[in-house]
Structure 1
Amino acid sequence: MKINWKLLLTGFSAAMILTACGTDSGNDNEKSNGSSGVVDETETNVDETNDTDLSLEDENEDEGQEQENVQSDMDKAALQDSDAQDYALYVLPEYTLTSEEPGRDSLYFGDDGEYFMRIETQLSADGDYEYLLENMQETLKASADTEELTEVTDEEKLPSAEGIERVKAFTVQSEDSPITGIVFEQGDLLIRLTIFDSPEAEHYNDFIQMGETIQKK
């Protein structure tokens, strides 16, 4: 029996070609898979960046909404004169302004009066800013029976309406709740506020917003 060498060599060559094609195909798949991995990683980074941007947008929207809510609340406030001092201010519906003694009023929250802001005013020409500031600090120390005061430096927690100058504020933690003293100048008035708030300081922003509206009658 004669071997057909030509046919055998042809078959062998075809087998080698198929093997080579298979190898190249495998290499191409590996390259393709590698390239796909890079693309997937890039897409992941883009997704993470988008998530961060969305988170910042949500946070900014929350802050903006909170500011709008404060402004909306003050839209409900009514202008009220002090009975004993020469000023007026805008008072929110849940608060009551009462004159306790000459030169000293209290702005109470709710019916029980547990949380309130004491208001004292003087004409700038007659008052002494440095004395008010020093006296305010001594009063805070005596109220909490401590020598440790913390200065309030966060501008969002200070009166900042147009015309307000020389703002200084200190806070102290009493046994039950925080007490904050603020002294500032507004037009012709020197103003001293003392805030006796809840443990969570939940009325602080209201007191500040109303205090900013104090104006000479």
Structure 2
Amino acid sequence: MAEQDTTSALAPRLAEQIRDKLIAGELKPGQRLSEAALSADLDVSRNSLREAFRLLTKEGLLRHEPNRGVFVATPSMSSIIDIYRVRRTIECRAIANAYPNHPAVARMRAAVEHARAARDAKDWLTVGSQNMVFHAAIVDLADSQRLNAFYAQTAAELRLSFGLLDDPELLHAPYVDLNAAILGKLEAGDTQEAAAALETYLLQSERTVLAAFSRAAF
């Protein structure tokens, strides 16, 4: 009973760690997850890991196939459309009502600077990860822990949709400067203009990801 209680208590933290790996782009759509490798990497028992898998499967981030194992989910076209609907609702509102000197703005600035350095090095995985940091910081502008927790799941699904593109440079390179432009408007106090620019940005990003989805062979 004690072991079961420990497993149940540990599972949400493990699920968060795996979710972070998804957001960082370390796990790809359709990838089979090795229980042995992941339990060793996270230094946990397989029972705890299986409970975390169950939680993430319920969230739609993983899928279980009988007699085959656990796989990273591949987003559907409808889920991609819904993800971007959620992003426009949350992010545009957060930045429109933002305080230009909010602590999250410094994190946005750091993400832009790190993304520029990674772009110069052609390190597109890091560029993508810094893009995720930038947009998570936008959500932080709303000062809502509930929104932050909700957005973490959305961000994991979003990064999986990015994994559908064969050319990560096509997806990530243009948005480094677009992020910088949005940040500049926010820092200048032009929050409504920043929100409008972000909405245009998100519509462009959605079209790019949906086009990649339509070309992908599943």
TM-score, length-scaled by structure 2: 0.29
Tell me: higher relative CO, structure 1 or 2? Use CA pairs within 8 A at least 6 residues apart: 2
Q: Quick check: which has more Rg, 1 or 2?
A: 1
Structure having the larger proportion of residues in helix: 2
TM-score, length-scaled by structure 1: 0.29
